[in-house]
Amino acid sequence: MEEDKSLNFIEQIVEQDLQEGKNDKRIQTRFPPEPNGYLHIGHVKAICMDFGIAEKYNGVCNLRFDDTNPVKEDTEYVDSIQHDIHWLGFRWGNIYYASDYFQQLYDLAIRFIKEGKAYVDEQTAEQIAEQKGTPTEPGVASPYRDRPIEENLQLFEAMQRGEIEDGKMVLRAKIDMANPNMHFRDPIMYRIITTHPHHRTGRQWNVYPMYDFAHGQSDYFEGVTHSICTLEFVVHRPLYDYFIDQFAGDNFCGLSPYGKDYRPHQYEFNRLNITYTVMSKRKMLQLVKEGLVAGWDDPRMPTVCGLRRRGYTAQAIREFINKIGYTKVEGMIDLGLLEHTIRESLKNTAPRLCAIFDPVRLIITNYEGNGETISAENIDGVPELGTRQMPFGKELYIERGDFLEEADKNFYRLSPNGREVRLKSAYIIQATGCDKDENGNITTVYATYDPTSKSGTEGGNRKTKATINWVEKNSCIDVEARLYDRLFKVENPSAEEGDFRELLNPDSLKVVNCKAEQSLNEYMHPVQMIDGIAQVKHFQLLKQGYFVIDPDTDDRHLVLNRTASLKDNWQK
């Protein structure tokens, strides 16, 4: 990976903090996913930052599941998130769960109520939203805002005992309904959820803390120093500090793990948005649930598991994140850059072999050999990458498009016009004619070969204007190649009005049945596992792109995913 030329703005802050001796020179970050979906490449940007800072500055990055909403969360997601981070090559210090702090957070909420800083509101979510005001007009106070402390306590405890129906009451912080920062206008601290058990605490809790009342506290309880997130949280930062200020400091009551009042600070960078896709777990879940994609790991999805199945490597994904960098302005990244990155990384490493996508039979009429094999370099001109043996014979398959019965002078491939064409790594042939079916479709092409023209022999140096791909008919294997295109038709589906599902690209998956050379079998061997990570073999199919074997493959049916085509239209 390329060495960083300069520090990103968060690294600069960290270095400054270290110089000033802040937090006793301790660096602690966290990656805080909500286990309500699979990780996507946007998360990877956050992961590279959170884990990257800890690695670079000898700190620790913990994984914290932000599991405060049992309605959407599941252990399936907890497991997949751990696997994906591990696959990306990062190692966490500890695993924490926001739900580990439910008791402390509840106790803090009680303390807030007792100090007159929180009240139970019985209005609906809509009413509360209506009263919020606008950035220039103050909000309207809830009629429940001045409820006596004792009543608030009793009601909140009743909420927790499960005596109040979901949605009927919330606990709100009593801050300032006129604050220019809308997040200070009596934000909701707790809501009731009785309908779903929590994946870890089961039925123990009937009230659950909101993000703003859980995140900063969790950071504090763990001793996080740099709490890094995305720009939409800039406006939450004062509230993040406010809630911590209410309990930390002189009377931090032993909630800090170091017995010391280390204050976490929140820093924000720009989210990753990529063209022609969506990066919202809610929308991705909808695509999965409605069967509009084959699952979270559909190779068209921007999820880590989707990209992995597609054939993206952890290294290429991290290189991409490194290239785009971190700023404080939102923007959109061209999907072409991601594709460019994987192409670059596979270009000189993925062995090449041949598959014919639209096969037509070729008979070499004067060929009398038997059991001949052709030795072909895995990558032309790179002997270090080895060679493979290609069976050769009288009957081959070639691409239908490589033959024209009547060709003009600009067509250099096969045509019965006396022109010589080389079969890649093998002999020079000349077409002599063809057979057609009743519809005029060509069924067989006939040719003669020059036995002295074999590549790698003395006669093999003769130049032809064209070289074509081929596979030997009896030894080749039938494979299903899945070719992917962008998932959405429009550049920014999230910015469009209406139903995002109608913007799906109907041609995002094309299935082609093709004939591949025998050596593809070598890629089928059971995948080697190292440290729980499958070691995927990448290969190039000549003229078609980079591919991997798909897990849908079984003994009788070989399925390939195209990771990327060969054509790179990425312009710097």
Active site (catalytic) residues: 34, 271, 281
Give the tokens for residue 211. 């993000």
Q: Which of 385, 274, 291 has its CA nearest to residue 332?
A: 274
What minimum distance in Å lies between the beta carbon of 184 and ligand ATP? 21
How many whole angstroms separate alpha carbon 304 and alpha carbon 448?
50
Single residue of 82, 194, 230, 256 touching ligand ATP by CB under 6 A: 230
Residue 272 binds to ligand ATP (criterion: CB under 6 A): yes
Task: Specify the residue, 66 or 399, whose C-beta has the smaller distance to ligand ATP.
Answer: 66
Site string for ligand ATP, 41-80 (x = CB under 6 A): -xx-xx-------------------x--------------
For residue 85, count other CB atoms closer than 10 A to its CB: 23
Give the tokens for residue 292. 């509009």
Question: What are the residues whose beta carbons fall under 8 Å from the beta carbon of 405, sequence distance 6 or more?
Answer: 415, 416, 434, 442
Task: Specify the residue, 183 or 271, whose C-beta has the smaller distance to ligand ATP.
Answer: 271
Amino acid identity for residue 482 in this structure: R
Q: Which of 215, 139, 123, 244 has its CA nearest to residue 182?
A: 139
Single residue of 64, 174, 185, 281 touching ligand ATP by CB under 6 A: 281
Task: Specify the residue, 303 or 518, whose C-beta has the smaller distance to ligand ATP.
Answer: 303
Report 30-49 residues binding Mg ion (CB under 5 A).
Answer: 34
- The piece of 37-45, 103-111, 154-162, 340-348 that touches ligand ATP (CB under 6 A) is 37-45
Residue 507 sits at φ, ψ, to 5 deg, of -105, 25
Could you give the strand order of the β-sheet that contains 118-121, starting from the edge strand earlier in sequence?
118-121, 170-173, 188-192, 207-209
Picked from ligand ATP, Mg ion, none, the partner binding residue 280 (CB below 5 to 8 A depending on kind) is ligand ATP
Question: What are the residues whose beta carbons fall under 8 Å from the beta carbon of 47, sequence distance 6 or more?
Answer: 31, 39, 85, 88, 90
Task: Specify the residue, 161 or 282, whose C-beta has the smaller distance to ligand ATP.
Answer: 282
What minimum distance in Å lies between the beta carbon of 298 and ligand ATP? 16
Residue 279 binds to ligand ATP (criterion: CB under 6 A): yes
Task: Specify the residue, 236 or 486, whose C-beta has the smaller distance to Mg ion.
Answer: 236
Picked from ligand ATP, Mg ion, none, the partner binding residue 45 (CB below 5 to 8 A depending on kind) is ligand ATP
Residue 286 binds to ligand ATP (criterion: CB under 6 A): no
Residue 229 binds to ligand ATP (criterion: CB under 6 A): yes
Residue 280 binds to ligand ATP (criterion: CB under 6 A): yes
What minimum distance in Å lies between the beta carbon of 317 and ligand ATP? 13
- The piece of 29-37, 407-415, 446-454, 543-551 that touches ligand ATP (CB under 6 A) is 29-37
Could you give the strand order of the β-sheet that contains 509-516, starting from the edge strand earlier in sequence?
352-353, 539-541, 545-549, 558-564, 477-484, 509-516, 355-356
* Cross-strand bridge partners of residue 540: 352, 546
Residue 34 binds to ligand ATP (criterion: CB under 6 A): yes
E strand or H helix at 188: strand 188-192
Residue 33 binds to ligand ATP (criterion: CB under 6 A): yes
Ranked by CB distance to Mg ion, the top (closest) residue is 34
E strand or H helix at 153: helix 149-160
Task: Specify the residue, 213 or 523, whose C-beta has the smaller distance to ligand ATP.
Answer: 213
What minimum distance in Å lies between the beta carbon of 62 and ligand ATP? 13
CA 237 remoteness from chain centre = 27
Ranked by CB distance to ligand ATP, the top (closest) residue is 42
Residues 306, 297: contact at Cβ < 8 Å? yes
Helix (H, G, I), strand (E, B) or coil at 513: strand
Q: Which of 59, 64, 26, 58 has its CA nearest to residue 46?
A: 64
Picked from Mg ion, ligand ATP, none, the partner binding residue 33 (CB below 5 to 8 A depending on kind) is ligand ATP
Amino acid identity for residue 493 in this structure: P
Residues 399, 410: contact at Cβ < 8 Å? no
For residue 546, count other CB atoms closer than 10 A to its CB: 26
- The piece of 28-36, 292-300, 358-366, 509-517 that touches Mg ion (CB under 5 A) is 28-36
- The piece of 273-281, 411-419, 485-493, 517-525 that touches ligand ATP (CB under 6 A) is 273-281
Residue 11 binds to ligand ATP (criterion: CB under 6 A): no
Picked from Mg ion, ligand ATP, none, the partner binding residue 279 (CB below 5 to 8 A depending on kind) is ligand ATP
Residue 32 binds to ligand ATP (criterion: CB under 6 A): yes
What minimum distance in Å lies between the beta carbon of 229 and ligand ATP? 4
Q: Report CA dihedral (507, 513, 515, 517) to the nearest 10 degrees.
A: 70
Residues at the site binding Mg ion, with contacts judged by CB under 5 A = 34
List residues near ligand ATP by CB under 6 A: 32-34, 42-43, 45-46, 66, 229-230, 271-272, 279-281
